[in-house]
Amino acid sequence: MARNDLQGSLDLLVLKTLSQRGKLHGYGIVAHIQRASDELLQVEEGSVYPALHRMEQSGWIRADWALTETGRKAKYYKLTAAGGKQLQAAEEGFEQLVKGVRAMLRYA
Partner 1 sequence: MALIRRIVNLFRRSRMDSEIEAELNSHVEMRIEENVAAGMSADEARRNALVRFGNHVVMKERSIGADAALGLESVGRDVMYALRQLRRAPGFAATAVVTLALGIGANIVVFSVLNAVLLHPLDVRDPGSLYQLRHKAWATGRLLTSSYPALEDYRRRNTTFSGLVGIDAYSHAVLMWRNAPYNLSGDEVTGNYFDLLGVEPEMGRFFHEADEHGQNSAPYVVLSDAIWRGAFSADPNIIGATVDLNRHPFTVVGVTAPQFHGTERFAWADYWVPMVNQEQVDGWSGQQNRAFVAVTVIGRLKPGVTQQQATDDLNAISAQLEKEYPQSDDGQPLRLIHPGLIGDTGDVIREFLWSVNALALLVLLAACANLATLFAARAADRGRELAVRVALGSTRGRLARQLLTEALLVSLLGGAAGLGFAELMLRALNRLPRAAESHLAASIDARVFGTGLVLMLLSALLFGMLPALQAWQSSPLQAMKSGAEQVHLRRFALRDLLLGLQIAICTLLVTASLVAVRGMQHALNAPLGFQPRNAMLVDMDLGDWSQTNDALVSKQRAMIDAARSTPGVTAVGTVNRTPMRGGLHGIPAFQPGTTDFKVNNAVLVPYLFSISPGYLEAAQTRLLSGRDVTWDDTPTTPDVAIVNETFAHKMWGNTSAIGQHFIVNGNLTEVVGVAEDGKYHDLEESPYPVAYLPVAQAEDSETIFIVRSPRSASEMTAALRHTLGAAAPNVTVGMQSWSDVIEGELLPARAATVALSSMGLMAAMLAVTGIFGMAAYSVSRRMKELGIRVALGAGRARVMQSAVGRPVALLLGGLAVGLTLAVLAKPLMGRIVYQAEPRDPLVLGGVLVTMVLIGVAASWIPARRALRVDPSRLMRED
Write out the residues near partner 1 by the rule CB under 8 A.
25-27, 30-31, 44-47, 49-54, 56-59, 68, 70, 72-75
> How many Cα neighbours within 13 Å face the side chain of 59?
3
Distance of closest approach, residue 79 Cβ to partner 1, in angstroms: 17
Nearer to partner 1 among residue 7 and residue 9 (C-beta) = 7
Q: Are 9 and 87 in contact (CB under 8 A)?
A: no
Distance of closest approach, residue 52 Cβ to partner 1, in angstroms: 8
Nearer to partner 1 among residue 60 and residue 87 (C-beta) = 60
Nearer to partner 1 among residue 39 and residue 105 (C-beta) = 39
Distance of closest approach, residue 84 Cβ to partner 1, in angstroms: 18
